[in-house]
């Protein structure tokens, strides 16, 4: 419907309130009892008419009214229609609104063009003919949507012939629907992170926001309002200067763009490759990327454009640049410091300052380094080691010599072992003596004593330690295995079968007198 024509008195009131008082459209509308759209329509007409403010004294009211509301000599069905496809594409650009596009349209057709309300109404009618996902308006460079496809691509083991499905990672830019796809070994965190990095590199830039599905890989505690992100995923996002906003649960419109991209990928990539046999992920991805290129260059059904053309004209100019270096994958964990002032990171033990015993730390482990943080402050850094059961210890982390170590000492552990029996004491002595620093044996000794106090009883522990000494294997793992398999109740081996119970002559072996 056309906008209501204001009386000359109200026209002058609107102009005064706007240019002399600086009020907003809504405030002016409330003041003169009109709608904000009517006020907006008048101000647009005033600007297009080129009338100065304050009004010239010689300008008569009838002349002003004629310039603001010229006679329409063209019937509505003969009026020039806007190029709604261009309007739809322009709306994806940052800061572009229908109001601005209508003003540009009216500058081209000041006499014959539609008024703002009809312009908007006709655009909305045109837009309803598009697909649901295409109707969504996403700003250029604003969002990337990511997810794993529910279906994967079959990979055949060339040796066994076993077939497994490799999940398909899909990323899509919101404004242009430009897509990226890649097959991975699994949906684990490392693959999830690599998928995002490869997508950003394929797009040659990063959007302001990344919207992943509410998957467990990305979100450790799903919540509509404050989801807890996986710390590695968040660190990766910070490196690329993008904000993670997970799609809300049970909110399909939040992820309609990526779900449509996944559906398209299943139809035009997975289905197209259904008769191909692949023997490796690399081989599959070569074929996937060929189909992906064809997909991005295929015209939309209801738009005279392709994903790639929209990407180059709309999204790409608005993307943030990639950082100079790739993100280095890091796994985060939250270990607690043991009484030996070491923390367990994937089976290897790293030292921290001894004053942090029993504290919970944040650990960041990359391929080459392990960093440990306490309350946000880095307290230790070590070269990464993959040797299971071994220790990496810095001298400065050890307690001062001859200082009682937080009530723990080798002599205290041995006194505790004496409550069980002499064989248990000898096994504990051997464990402590075999370490470069006796504190490195605390963990194993405590585990040994816990077998007797909490699991199997002291009598069985003493019998198991006796057997471990008899077979020459006085270690925590050996004693635990003996107890687990019930060998502590079996007769001991004959003396001829016995092996030495301790290593002699090694520089790290101190002897029991060292702990007295």
Q: Is residue 514 pLDDT above 60, yes or no?
A: no
Q: Name which residue leads in pLDDT, 198 or 209.
A: 198
Beta-bridge mates of residue 172: 145, 179
Say which residue, 106 or 254, is predicted with more confidence. 106
Cβ-in-10-Å burial (0-12, 13-18, 19+) of 488 comes to: buried
Enumerate the H helices of 351-500 as residue ranges.
410-418, 422-433, 442-450, 458-470, 476-484
Q: Are 410 and 392 in contact (CB under 8 A)?
A: no
Name which of 422, 483, 477, 484 is nearest 445 in CA terms: 477
Mean pLDDT value across the chain:
80
Q: Kind of pairing, strands 348-351 and 377-383?
A: unpaired
CA–CA gap between residue 328 and residue 197 (Å, rounded):
10
Q: Are 120 and 152 in contact (CB under 8 A)?
A: no
Distance of CA 501 to the CA centre of its chain: 53
Return the higher-pLDDT residue of 480 and 218. Answer: 480
How far apart, in whole angstroms, are the C-alpha atoms of residue 281 and residue 166?
8
- Residue pair 76/121 in contact (Cβ under 8 Å)? The answer is no
pLDDT level of residue 382 (50, 70, 90 thresholds)? very high
Altogether, the residues listed in the chain come to a count of 516
Examine the pLDDT at 189 and tell me if it is beyond 70.
yes
CA 44 to mean position of chain CA atoms: 45
If pLDDT is split at 50, 70 and 90, which confidence band does 507 have? very low
Residue 98 is predicted with a pLDDT of 82
Entry pTM = 0.54
Identify the residue with better confidence: 228 or 365: 365
Q: Which of 335, 277, 291, 51 is nearest to 180 (CA)?
A: 291
Within 10 A of 240 (CB to CB), how many other CB atoms are there? 18
Lowest mean pLDDT of 232-241, 270-279, 396-405, 485-494, name the range: 396-405
Q: Where are the beta strands (DSSP E) in 100-174?
A: 143-156, 163-173
pLDDT at 435 over 70: yes
Please state, as a whole number, how many other Cβ atoms lie within 10 Å of the Cβ of residue 501: 15
Maximum average pLDDT range among 83-97, 111-125, 319-333: 319-333
């Amino acid at each position: 419907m056309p906008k209501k024509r204001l009386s000359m008195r109200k026209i002058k009131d609107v102009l005064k309130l706007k240019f002399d008082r600086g009020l907003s459209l809504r405030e002016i509308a409330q003041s003169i009892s009109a709608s904000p759209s009517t006020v907006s329509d008048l101000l647009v007409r005033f600007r297009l008419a080129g009338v100065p403010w304050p009004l010239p004294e010689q300008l008569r009211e009838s002349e002003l009214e004629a310039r603001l509301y010229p006679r329409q000599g063209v019937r509505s069905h003969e009026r020039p229609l806007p190029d709604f496809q261009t309007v739809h594409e322009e709306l994806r650009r940052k800061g572009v609104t229908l109001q601005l596009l209508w003003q540009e349209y009216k500058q081209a057709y000041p006499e014959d063009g539609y008024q703002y309300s009809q312009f908007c109404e006709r655009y909305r009618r045109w837009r309803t003919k598009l697909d649901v996902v295409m109707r969504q308006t996403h700003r250029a460079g604003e969002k990337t949507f990511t997810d794993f496809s529910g279906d994967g691509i079959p990979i055949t083991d060339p040796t066994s012939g076993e077939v497994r499905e490799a999940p398909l990672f899909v990323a899509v830019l919101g404004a242009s629907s430009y897509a990226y796809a890649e097959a991975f070994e699994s949906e684990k965190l490392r693959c999830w992170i690599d998928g995002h990095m490869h997508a950003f590199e394929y797009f040659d830039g990063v959007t302001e926001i990344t919207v992943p599905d509410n998957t467990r890989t990305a979100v450790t505690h799903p919540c509509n309002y404050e989801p807890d992100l996986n710390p590695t995923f968040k660190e990766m996002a910070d490196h690329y200067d993008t904000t993670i906003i997970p799609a809300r649960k049970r909110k399909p419109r939040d992820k309609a763009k990526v779900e449509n991209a996944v559906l398209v990928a299943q139809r035009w990539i997975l289905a197209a490759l259904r008769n191909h046999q692949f023997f490796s992920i690399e081989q599959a991805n070569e074929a996937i990327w060929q189909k992906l290129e064809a997909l991005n260059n295929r015209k939309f059904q209801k738009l005279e454009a392709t994903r790639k053309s929209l990407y180059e004209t709309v999204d790409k100019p608005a993307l943030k640049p990639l950082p100079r270096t790739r993100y280095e994958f890091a796994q985060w964990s939250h270990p607690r410091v043991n009484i030996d002032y070491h923390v367990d990171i994937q089976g290897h033990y790293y030292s921290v300052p001894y004053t942090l015993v029993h504290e919970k730390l944040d650990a960041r482990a990359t391929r080459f380094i392990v960093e440990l943080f306490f309350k946000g402050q880095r307290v230790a850094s070590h070269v990464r080691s993959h040797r299971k059961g071994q220790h990496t210890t810095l001298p400065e982390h050890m307690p001062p010599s001859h200082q009682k170590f937080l009530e723990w000492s080798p002599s205290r552990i041995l006194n505790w072992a004496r409550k069980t029996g002499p064989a248990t004491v000898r096994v504990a002595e051997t464990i402590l003596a075999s370490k470069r620093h006796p504190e490195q044996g605390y963990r194993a000794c405590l585990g040994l004593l816990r077998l007797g106090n909490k699991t199997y009883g002291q009598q069985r522990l003493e019998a198991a330690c006796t057997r471990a000494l008899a077979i020459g294997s006085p270690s925590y793992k050996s004693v635990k295995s003996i107890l687990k398999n019930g060998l502590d109740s079996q007769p001991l081996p004959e003396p001829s079968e016995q092996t030495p119970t301790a290593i002699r002559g090694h520089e790290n072996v101190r002897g029991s007198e060292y702990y007295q």
